[in-house]
Structure 1
Amino acid sequence: MQGDDGDERGFFAERALPAPRAAKAAAEKPHYLGHRERLRTRFREAGAGALSDYELLELLLFRSIPRADTKGLAKTLINRFGSFAEVLGAPEHLLREVEGVGDAVALDIKTIAAASSRMARGAIGRRPVLGSWAQVIDYCRAAMAFEPREQFRILFLDKKNVLIADEVQQSGTVDHTPVYPREVMRRALELSATAIILVHNHPSGDPTPSRADIEMTKTIIGTGKPLGVIVHDHIIVGRNGHASLKGMQLI
């Protein structure tokens, strides 16, 4: 018995005590969870302005990729496309070319882009457009600035300059979009629009108007004048800003 007692005491003395459950859970906790919480806290307390582009993108990716470190992917996307806005504006097939971006992540990014565009459109849809010009520019940039091909868009306005419709009339190549003034005016008359704003993008990023842009705008102005349809402006948007032909006194 004494020997057995000695063996038993020895057994209990040498046996390792089980680690407390909380300590074990802490040891197994993924390292990125603390980073995520710190980033969320900074966003809540200081706002989006306190975050860099890749950090804001990380916040978005947290939802799409709940169980992995997203910092590297966010930085890769920013390096590939240039900025947070350009990541949102990138075509879905190009997003999927980035390692780590599957169908679900690409779809989530494009959903956020669509929501941003819809939000910007809502800001100009309930008030006279000419009284909210900054919102018009923001909307046009969100909708078109990062498109890989040229688009020709028309904002149709009623007699109070409230938005009736916003339509992409033509899509073209990387540096050209065909525009047909008669078709522009036909659609304006169908919608009973009394004024329009022309918008198109330059995929090169430089919004400087070309001679063809200026001449085409003057042709549309001339076509609309006898029909009572005014062209308020022609806005060109690109990644590097925007240009207003009226603001530049080109029309």
Structure 2
Amino acid sequence: MDEAAVKSPPPDDDLLAALLAGKPTPVKPAAAEKPEPAEETPHYHGHRDRLRQRFIASGPDALQDYELLELLLFQAIPRRDVKPLAKELMSAFGSLWAVTQASAEALRNRFNFSDATIAHIRVVGAIGLRMARQQVMGQPILSSWQKLLDYCAGAMAHEPVEQFRLLFLDRKNTLIADEVQQRGTVDHTPVYPREVVRRALELGASAVILVHNHPTH
């Protein structure tokens, strides 16, 4: 056997000195680990910051509808580039208002949204309708007719089925109640005059406005 193959490596001087002196064996400190590189910031974070600043500085008129929808989606979906998604939603439903009025089933089935995201989107539509309703409730109809039309359009335009709504007025033509009397199918809804009269008497209404929609598909 080759003598060089079995020759031991020369002893470490510090280790040999420690053994001869009966001292604990010195241990060399381990090399410090290199820190892991910082995670790269997603490219869309800069876009989000710029869009927020433009909205704050210039107001909503400076943004297109899909960009306003982006601002909404930022909070609901924080770890995804939502610009393409906002455009896809606008294309699917046709308008910003229609997106916020979309059914939970449509948002879940077509876009695989979680319940949290669905609630985040739909609550905006609910707040908008609530505010529109507050502008007409308790107001004389003749002086707020356009607001009433806008409210009815917002409340019923995107309903998937026909709806029969009753607006009850007092003797001063002030709106005192707004109720959905019946919901039907995509092309039909029943109307029961006796129920309309009964409800008007219960509320002490002097007049009733009947509102009816025709769903579009």
Question: TM-score range, shorter-chain basis?
Answer: 0.7 to 0.9
**Displacement of 1:55 after TM fit?**
1.1
TM-score normalised by the chain length of structure 1: 0.68
Once residues 126 and 145 of structure 1 are traced to their aligned partners in structure 2, the CA distance between those partners, rounded to angstroms, is: 23
2:108 pairs with 1:96? yes
2:122 pairs with 1:110? yes
Provide closer, same or farther for how the CA distance between residues 59 and 100 of structure 1 changes in structure 2, counting only shifts above 3 A.
farther
Once residues 189 and 81 of structure 2 are traced to their aligned partners in structure 1, the CA distance between those partners, rounded to angstroms, is: 42
Provide Cα deviations, 1:34-63, integer angstroms capped at 9, x if missing partner: 111221122223322222221111111112
2:170 pairs with 1:158? yes
What letter corresponds to residue 60 of structure 2 in structure 1? A
SS of equivalent to 1:164: strand
Once residues 130 and 197 of structure 1 are traced to their aligned partners in structure 2, the CA distance between those partners, rounded to angstroms, is: 12
Where in structure 2 are the equivalents of 1:70-149 lying within 5 Å?
70-149=82-161
SS of equivalent to 1:169: strand
Once residues 45 and 100 of structure 1 are traced to their aligned partners in structure 2, the CA distance between those partners, rounded to angstroms, is: 34
SS of equivalent to 2:182: strand
Once residues 138 and 175 of structure 2 are traced to their aligned partners in structure 1, the CA distance between those partners, rounded to angstroms, is: 7
Once residues 200 and 82 of structure 1 are traced to their aligned partners in structure 2, the CA distance between those partners, rounded to angstroms, is: 22
Off by >6 Å, runs of 4+ in structure 1? none
Of structures 1 and 2, the larger Rg is shown by: 2
The question of whether the paired residues in 1 share the 8 Å contact of 2:138 and 2:176 is answered with: no
Once residues 52 and 71 of structure 1 are traced to their aligned partners in structure 2, the CA distance between those partners, rounded to angstroms, is: 12
The question of whether the paired residues in 1 share the 8 Å contact of 2:100 and 2:124 is answered with: yes
2:52 alignment partner, one of 30, 33, 40: 40
2:75 pairs with 1:63? yes
What letter corresponds to residue 104 of structure 1 in structure 2? A
Once residues 139 and 176 of structure 2 are traced to their aligned partners in structure 1, the CA distance between those partners, rounded to angstroms, is: 11
Match of 1:192 in 2: 204
Where in structure 2 are the equivalents of 1:160-239 lying within 5 Å?
160-204=172-216
What letter corresponds to residue 98 of structure 1 in structure 2? R
2:62 alignment partner, one of 50, 53, 67: 50
Once residues 133 and 46 of structure 1 are traced to their aligned partners in structure 2, the CA distance between those partners, rounded to angstroms, is: 31
Once residues 107 and 128 of structure 1 are traced to their aligned partners in structure 2, the CA distance between those partners, rounded to angstroms, is: 34
TM-score normalised by the chain length of structure 2: 0.78
Provide Cα deviations, 1:42-95, integer angstroms capped at 9, x if missing partner: 222332222222111111111211222111211111111111111112111011
The question of whether the paired residues in 2 share the 8 Å contact of 1:73 and 1:100 is answered with: no
**Displacement of 1:204 after TM fit?**
1.9
Once residues 96 and 117 of structure 2 are traced to their aligned partners in structure 1, the CA distance between those partners, rounded to angstroms, is: 15
Unaligned runs of 5+ in 1: 1-17, 206-251
Provide closer, same or farther for how the CA distance between residues 136 and 155 of structure 1 changes in structure 2, counting only shifts above 3 A.
same
SS of equivalent to 1:37: helix
**Displacement of 1:100 after TM fit?**
4.8
Q: Percent identity?
A: 59
Aligned residues: 183
- The structure that is strand-richer by fraction is 1
SS of equivalent to 1:199: strand
